[in-house]
Amino acid sequence: MTARIIDGKAIAAELRTRVAAEVQRLRAEHGLEPGLAVVLVGENPASAVYVRSKAKQTVEAGMRSFDHRLPDSASENDLLALVAKLNADPAVHGILVQLPLPKQIDGQKVLNAIDPAKDVDGFHPMNAGRLATGLSALVPCTPLGCVMLAKTVHRSLEGMNAVIVGRSNIVGKPLIQLLLNENATVTVAHSKTRDLPEVCRRADILFAAVGRPEMVRGDWIKPGATVIDVGINRVATAEGKSRIVGDVAFAEAAEIAGAITPVPGGVGPMTIACLLVNTVRAACVINRLAAPPV
């Protein structure tokens, strides 16, 4: 194996430590206690795990965590009423509605109802538009974490060829803008892209956000490139159990790449750490304080 492993777990832990220090400072200097409300609708086991971890890390960073559960049968109006209550609650600076939502609820309608100032997932069209037009915005946590990880390898991304595979609203699209802000040259590939391996081989930095287990092969990678694997895919093992793999064939890619994120332990931990960063930022902006340097 030649690639340097980008240790997302350790980098996220350092970021959480910086967030905790900032939270302490805000409490001491301004009496401000950032608060994050997480809403879970239904019993999706993976979502329940994410929500637990978010609440735990929020409390560990010294912030207030508000846990809201609605049954699987909750109506769209039930959820919209809860969002309205959280929008109005001065103790809540960040609101996160865990996706996916049950079928009877229009997810976009719910995301649009969140106060953009408290939209710590950065999914509200107002924040997406602000990011796209270069204004300050709450930025989706996963792409934010991806760029932070890339910058642990490269001090500057300026002029680098960045290829993103995937164009979802939550990862691929905001990543385009964040990379443009870093002055990278950005190419976006998707399911209709022709000769994807060739497109990937042009990347100095390759971001895979596809949702297809180990789709990106070792020979799709330019020797020495940095590979950031966003994918989280559960696959069955020969022993009848399951394990998590990324969108990149890790063992093959690590022979060719210069640096690579593992799955698990790469982008995943950064996503939650960036959620804490966004909550602190939201609390500062709402209270007309300068945004923290974390």
How far apart CA 83 and CA 79 sit, in angstroms, is 6
| Tokens describing residue 271 | 């996503």
Q: Is residue 54 among the annotated active site residues?
A: yes
CA 284 to chain centre: 20
Q: Interaction with ligand NAP in 228-267: which residues (CB under 6 A)?
A: 230-233, 267
Which is closer to ligand NAP, CB of 8 or CB of 34? Answer: 8
Which is closer to ligand NAP, CB of 233 or CB of 287? Answer: 233
Which is closer to ligand NAP, CB of 201 or CB of 212? Answer: 212
| Tokens describing residue 251 | 């063992």
Q: Which of 35, 166, 174, 292 binds ligand NAP (CB under 6 A)?
A: 166
Q: How many CB atoms neighbour CB 102 within 10 A? A: 18
Q: Which of 209, 227, 228, 283 binds ligand NAP (CB under 6 A)?
A: 209
Which residue has its beta carbon closest to ligand NAP? Answer: 168
Q: Is residue 9 among the annotated active site residues?
A: no
Exactly one of 57, 115, 118, 121 is catalytic; name it: 121
Q: Which of 103, 192, 194, 288 binds ligand NAP (CB under 6 A)?
A: 192
Options 9-17, 34-42, 127-135, 184-192: segment touching ligand NAP (CB under 6 A): 184-192
Options 57-65, 123-131, 198-206, 226-234: segment touching ligand NAP (CB under 6 A): 226-234
Residue 167 touching ligand NAP (CB under 6 A): yes
Q: Is residue 98 among the annotated active site residues?
A: yes
Residue 8 touching ligand NAP (CB under 6 A): no
Options 34-42, 53-61, 187-195, 278-286: segment touching ligand NAP (CB under 6 A): 187-195
> Cβ 147 to ligand NAP, closest distance in Å?
13
Q: How far is CA 65 from CA 37, 50, 90, 121, 187, in A?
A: 6, 14, 13, 15, 38
Q: Which of 35, 172, 262, 292 binds ligand NAP (CB under 6 A)?
A: 172
Residue 194 touching ligand NAP (CB under 6 A): no
How far apart CA 24 and CA 228 sit, in angstroms, is 32
The sheet with strand 35-41 has its strands ordered as: 64-70, 35-41, 94-97
Which is closer to ligand NAP, CB of 101 or CB of 284? Answer: 101
Which is closer to ligand NAP, CB of 26 or CB of 177? Answer: 177
Which is closer to ligand NAP, CB of 208 or CB of 257? Answer: 208
**Which residues share a beta bridge with 277?**
none
> Cβ 233 to ligand NAP, closest distance in Å?
5
- Catalytic residues, by residue number, are 54, 98, 121
